[in-house]
């Protein structure tokens, strides 16, 4: 048993999230966290909305609201969507809390003290009308290499060359069309080259990572450059150094502040539990965290931040690296145990794009379909290790043929037949179990090792495949044993035995599927006559900022209750609930309706 940190990528609060976002890391991290809790580990699952940076500032300006107002709006929408999906965060918070500002500033100050943050004068583009920095991708002009007239400041989409905005011919701001001004500006840089050797040594000791992630991360180390960690912008965390902290025009870069969210959210969680040091059991590289493991879940476009940048910040703060140094007040901190990245989900063969309307938002999806139907699709057909495509036809097929006709049918016919003929969990005939009975029970029991091991190694697709294989075996068993033919009084004990075995396997399979399908798992637990919480759910709570800032909603929950990862023998004579279908069969017409929505 150990302390397991499930650190989930932070959604950017500039709009509602679509199903591509939750497929890559949202649902998979929840499956992992739920399983680890059921297996007896002490899990801390944290995340929140990422709310600083230029895109939110630009969008807020366009809408005539403050960045804080925009972030407030989408923080709430996103938190509500994640709650509806049943994602079991211990704390889902945000980057605009005072606690987060304080932790970011502590890391910045510690890295600065140890010599890993250095000042540099650079050339930056600013907007003459606002005085704000114009990030490279907000500048457009003619490519100096191929002459394409809509090249971006960072890259030409026509010839593919990397560009510097200062080289563009006729550069223009994409925000308001004005010509940017190029000025000298002083910024702080993270001295990544000084941390490269320490990072290489750490990466060499990693085990169990997906090989592509490890290879990609090692390659990045060969060409590490110092990286800017401050910007000319008002919207962000102030720089905690004398002569800088009161400057309204200089802020810490959003990527630097957002990755620190994993740590600040853990500290916020601990402070809210009344044991403010409790976070150290998941984070301390010293004795307090000796059995701690940390797993980071993200899309593949974010690997660099988790396998290089975040470990560099943690290492530099802890005093590892070419400049050595002393750990700050938070002590020596653990680097990630594993970086679990997913590939991309596309939709009907195209990239998700909110601007081109190739999208379905989580809340629109959940208005029409059940959360577990989506969770099932993500588990069996999500972008775990390959880019995969969401199509409505495939969603319909998976839902109707597998979830409803496979799992739902097994639950429904076992419970209905037992309820009708016995009203309760029937006893096993004193004549005993047949070989077929024993074999099915053994298959279900063996699933706990197989499925658990696969989830622990982030092979969720295979894991749910194994759980569904138990379901298929049980359906085959029922068809072969045909208990509905044993209506004669003399046959009733055998009918009871078959249904007892079937219900036991339904109960076991339900536990195996609980991390994937928590909503239906609770219902099935109740159909079997179970009481109390089987699969705990997150709740959305309004809380006060711990340090006097504005109140905000958080996702949290009590996950100490619920099923364990083990078979539980059914109690003979326990009354069964009135049977009702757990999953909804969808009409084939939804495919055309959804495609029409997408086109319209
Ligand atoms: Zn070009």
Least confident of 119-133, 420-434, 552-566: 119-133
Give residue 137 CA to ligand 1 midpoint distance, Å: 15
Could you tell me which residues come within 8 angstroms of residue 543 by beta carbon, excluding any fewer than 6 positions away? Answer: 272, 551, 552, 553, 554
Give residue 3 CA to ligand 1 midpoint distance, Å: 50
Give residue 150 CA to ligand 1 midpoint distance, Å: 9
Q: Which domains does the chain have, with CATH numbers?
A: 3-117+189-342 (3.40.50.620)
Q: Each residue of 89-114: b (16+ CB within 10 Å) or e?
A: bbbbbbbbbebbbebbbbbbbbbbeb
pLDDT over threshold 90, residue 157: no
Please name every residue paired with 540 in a beta bridge, in sequence order, or none if there are none: 555
Q: Tell me the whole-structure pTM to 2 decimals.
A: 0.94
Structure confidence by residue, pLDDT tens digits, 84-114? 999 999 999 999 999 999 999 999 999 999 9
Higher pLDDT, 13 or 211: 13
Q: What is the torsional sign of CA 513, 518, 521, 525? A: positive
pLDDT over threshold 80, residue 355: no
Least confident of 356-360, 445-449, 463-467, 513-517: 356-360
Structure confidence by residue, pLDDT tens digits, 281-316? 999 999 899 899 999 999 998 999 999 999 999 999
pLDDT reported for residue 389: 95
Answer for the pair 535, 34: CB distance below 8 angstroms, yes or no: yes
Give residue 187 CA to ligand 1 midpoint distance, Å: 29
- Chain centroid to CA 334: 20
Alpha-carbon distances, residue 554 vs 100, 184, 539, 543 (angstroms): 14, 41, 8, 7
SS3 302: helix
Least confident of 128-137, 290-299, 545-554: 128-137
- Chain centroid to CA 93: 14
pLDDT reported for residue 102: 98
Alpha-carbon distances, residue 444 vs 111, 396, 482 (angstroms): 52, 27, 20
pLDDT reported for residue 549: 94
For the annotated binding site, the residues are: 143, 146, 156, 159, 354
Strand residues in 264-401 grouped as ranges (E) = 292-299, 338-342, 345-347, 388-390
How far apart (Å, rounded) are the C-alpha atoms in residues 94 and 10?
9
Give residue 163 CA to ligand 1 midpoint distance, Å: 9
pLDDT reported for residue 358: 87
pLDDT reported for residue 154: 81
Give residue 140 CA to ligand 1 midpoint distance, Å: 12
pLDDT reported for residue 233: 85
Give residue 160 CA to ligand 1 midpoint distance, Å: 6
Give residue 139 CA to ligand 1 midpoint distance, Å: 14
For the annotated binding site for ATP, the residues are: 354
Structure confidence by residue, pLDDT tens digits, 166-179? 889 999 999 899 99
For 342, other C-beta atoms within 10 Å of its C-beta total 28
Structure confidence by residue, pLDDT tens digits, 34-63? 999 999 999 999 999 999 998 899 899 899
In 3D, which of 358, 344, 497 has the Cα closest to residue 428? 497
pLDDT over threshold 90, residue 357: no
For 185, other C-beta atoms within 10 Å of its C-beta total 19
Give residue 157 CA to ligand 1 midpoint distance, Å: 7
Give residue 167 CA to ligand 1 midpoint distance, Å: 11
How far apart (Å, rounded) are the C-alpha atoms in residues 510 and 505?
8
Mean pLDDT of 318-328: 96
pLDDT over threshold 80, residue 591: yes
Give residue 358 CA to ligand 1 midpoint distance, Å: 27
Give residue 152 CA to ligand 1 midpoint distance, Å: 9
Answer for the pair 292, 334: CB distance below 8 angstroms, yes or no: yes
DSSP assignments along 3-20, one per residue: EEEEEE---BSSS--BHH
pLDDT reported for residue 189: 97
Answer for the pair 577, 526: CB distance below 8 angstroms, yes or no: yes
Going by pLDDT thresholds of 50, 70 and 90, the confidence category of residue 138 is confident
Give residue 306 CA to ligand 1 midpoint distance, Å: 31
For the annotated binding site for Zn(2+), the residues are: 143, 146, 156, 159
Mean pLDDT of 571-597: 95
Give residue 155 CA to ligand 1 midpoint distance, Å: 8
How far apart (Å, rounded) are the C-alpha atoms in residues 85 and 458?
20
Q: What is the torsional sign of CA 31, 35, 37, 41? A: negative
Summary count for the chain: helices (H), strands (E): 21, 17
Give residue 169 CA to ligand 1 midpoint distance, Å: 11
Give residue 164 CA to ligand 1 midpoint distance, Å: 12
pLDDT reported for residue 232: 85
Give residue 189 CA to ligand 1 midpoint distance, Å: 29
Could you tell me which residues come within 8 angstroms of residue 32 by beta carbon, excluding any fewer than 6 positions away? Answer: 6, 295, 297, 340, 455, 458, 460, 515
- Chain centroid to CA 370: 19
pLDDT reported for residue 28: 98
How far apart (Å, rounded) are the C-alpha atoms in residues 5 and 306?
14
Structure confidence by residue, pLDDT tens digits, 468-506? 999 999 999 999 999 999 999 999 999 999 999 999 999
How far apart (Å, rounded) are the C-alpha atoms in residues 587 and 309?
48
> Is residue 326 classed exposed, middle or buried when 0-12, 13-18 and 19+ CB atoms within 10 A define those classes?
exposed
Give residue 269 CA to ligand 1 midpoint distance, Å: 48
pLDDT reported for residue 123: 87
Give residue 225 CA to ligand 1 midpoint distance, Å: 25
Give residue 146 CA to ligand 1 midpoint distance, Å: 4
Answer for the pair 410, 478: CB distance below 8 angstroms, yes or no: yes
What's the chain's Rg over C-alpha atoms?
27
> Alpha-carbon dihedral of residues 131, 136, 137, 142, nearest 10 degrees?
110
> Is residue 160 classed exposed, middle or buried when 0-12, 13-18 and 19+ CB atoms within 10 A define those classes?
exposed
Going by pLDDT thresholds of 50, 70 and 90, the confidence category of residue 356 is confident
Give residue 143 CA to ligand 1 midpoint distance, Å: 5
For 357, other C-beta atoms within 10 Å of its C-beta total 11
Strand residues in 156-278 grouped as ranges (E) = 169-173, 181-190, 227-228, 230-232, 250-252
Give residue 179 CA to ligand 1 midpoint distance, Å: 20
pLDDT reported for residue 255: 92
Arithmetic mean of pLDDT over the chain: 95
How far apart (Å, rounded) are the C-alpha atoms in residues 362 and 477?
38
pLDDT reported for residue 310: 98
pLDDT reported for residue 353: 85
The fraction of the chain above a pLDDT of 90, given in percent, is 87
How far apart (Å, rounded) are the C-alpha atoms in residues 574 and 561?
21
Give residue 141 CA to ligand 1 midpoint distance, Å: 10
pLDDT reported for residue 165: 87
pLDDT reported for residue 130: 84
The pair of three-digit structure tokens given for residue 454, joined into one six-digit string: 């696969």
Going by pLDDT thresholds of 50, 70 and 90, the confidence category of residue 81 is very high
Give residue 175 CA to ligand 1 midpoint distance, Å: 21
Mean pLDDT of 386-405: 97
Give residue 147 CA to ligand 1 midpoint distance, Å: 6
In 3D, which of 454, 464, 302, 452 has the Cα closest to residue 381? 464
Give residue 177 CA to ligand 1 midpoint distance, Å: 20
Give residue 553 CA to ligand 1 midpoint distance, Å: 46
Going by pLDDT thresholds of 50, 70 and 90, the confidence category of residue 354 is confident
């Amino acid at each position: 048993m150990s302390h397991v940190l499930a650190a989930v990528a932070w959604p950017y609060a500039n709009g509602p999230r679509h199903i591509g976002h939750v497929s890559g890391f949202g649902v998979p991290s929840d499956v992992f966290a739920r399983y680890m809790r059921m297996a007896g580990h002490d899990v801390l699952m944290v995340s929140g909305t990422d709310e600083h940076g230029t895109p939110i500032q630009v969008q807020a300006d366009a809408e005539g609201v403050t960045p804080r107002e925009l972030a407030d709006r989408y923080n709430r929408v996103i938190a509500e969507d994640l709650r509806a999906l049943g994602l079991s965060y211990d704390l889902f918070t945000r980057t605009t809390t005072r606690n987060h500002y304080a932790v970011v500033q502590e890391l910045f100050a510690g890295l600065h003290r140890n010599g890993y943050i250095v000042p540099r004068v650079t050339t930056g583009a600013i907007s003459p009308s606002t005085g704000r920095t114009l990030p490279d991708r907000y500048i457009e002009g003619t490519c100096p290499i191929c002459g394409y007239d809509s090249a971006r400041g960072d890259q030409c989409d026509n010839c593919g060359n990397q560009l510097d905005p200062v080289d563009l011919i006729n550069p223009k701001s994409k925000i308001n069309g004005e010509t940017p001004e190029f000025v000298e500006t002083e910024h702080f840089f993270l001295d990544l080259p000084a941390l490269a050797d320490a990072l290489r040594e750490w990466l060499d000791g990693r085990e169990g990572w997906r090989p592509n992630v490890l290879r990609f991360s090692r390659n990045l180390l060969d060409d590490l450059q110092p990286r800017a960690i401050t910007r000319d912008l008002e919207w962000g965390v102030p720089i905690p150094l004398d002569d800088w902290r009161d400057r309204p025009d200089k802020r810490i870069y959003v990527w630097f502040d957002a990755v620190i969210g994993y740590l600040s959210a853990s500290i916020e969680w601990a402070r809210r539990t009344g044991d403010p040091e409790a976070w150290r059991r998941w984070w301390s590289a010293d004795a307090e965290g000796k059995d701690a493991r940390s797993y980071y879940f993200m899309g593949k476009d974010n690997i660099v931040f988790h396998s290089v940048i975040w470990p560099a910040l943690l290492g530099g703060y802890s005093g590892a690296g070419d400049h050595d140094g002393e750990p700050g007040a938070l002590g020596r901190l653990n680097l990630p145990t594993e970086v679990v990245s997913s590939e991309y989900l596309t939709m009907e063969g195209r990239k998700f794009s909110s601007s081109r309307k190739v999208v379905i938002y989580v809340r629109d999806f959940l208005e029409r379909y059940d959360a577990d139907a989506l969770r099932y699709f993500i588990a069996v057909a999500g972008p775990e290790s390959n880019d995969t495509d969401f199509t409505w036809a495939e969603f319909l097929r998976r839902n109707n043929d597998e979830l409803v006709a496979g799992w739902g049918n097994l639950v429904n016919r076992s419970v209905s037949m037992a309820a009708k003929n016995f009203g309760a969990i029937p006893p096993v005939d004193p004549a005993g179990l047949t070989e077929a009975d024993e074999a099915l029970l053994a298959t279900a029991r063996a699933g706990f090792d197989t499925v658990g091991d696969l989830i622990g190694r982030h092979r969720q697709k295979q894991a749910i495949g194994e759980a569904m294989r138990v379901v298929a075996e049980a359906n085959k068993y029922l068809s072969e044993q045909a208990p509905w033919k044993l209506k004669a009084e003399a046959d009733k004990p055998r009918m009871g035995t078959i249904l007892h075995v079937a219900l036991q396997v339904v109960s076991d399979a339900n536990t195996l599927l609980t991390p994937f399908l928590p909503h239906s798992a609770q219902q099935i637990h109740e159909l079997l006559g179970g009481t109390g919480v089987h699969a705990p759910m997150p709740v959305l709570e309004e809380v006060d900022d711990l340090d006097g800032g504005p109140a905000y909603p958080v996702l949290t929950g009590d996950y100490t209750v619920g099923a364990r990862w083990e078979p539980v023998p059914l109690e003979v004579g326990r009354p069964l609930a009135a049977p009702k279908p757990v999953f909804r069969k969808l009409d084939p017409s939804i495919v055309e309706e959804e495609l029409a929505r997408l086109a319209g």
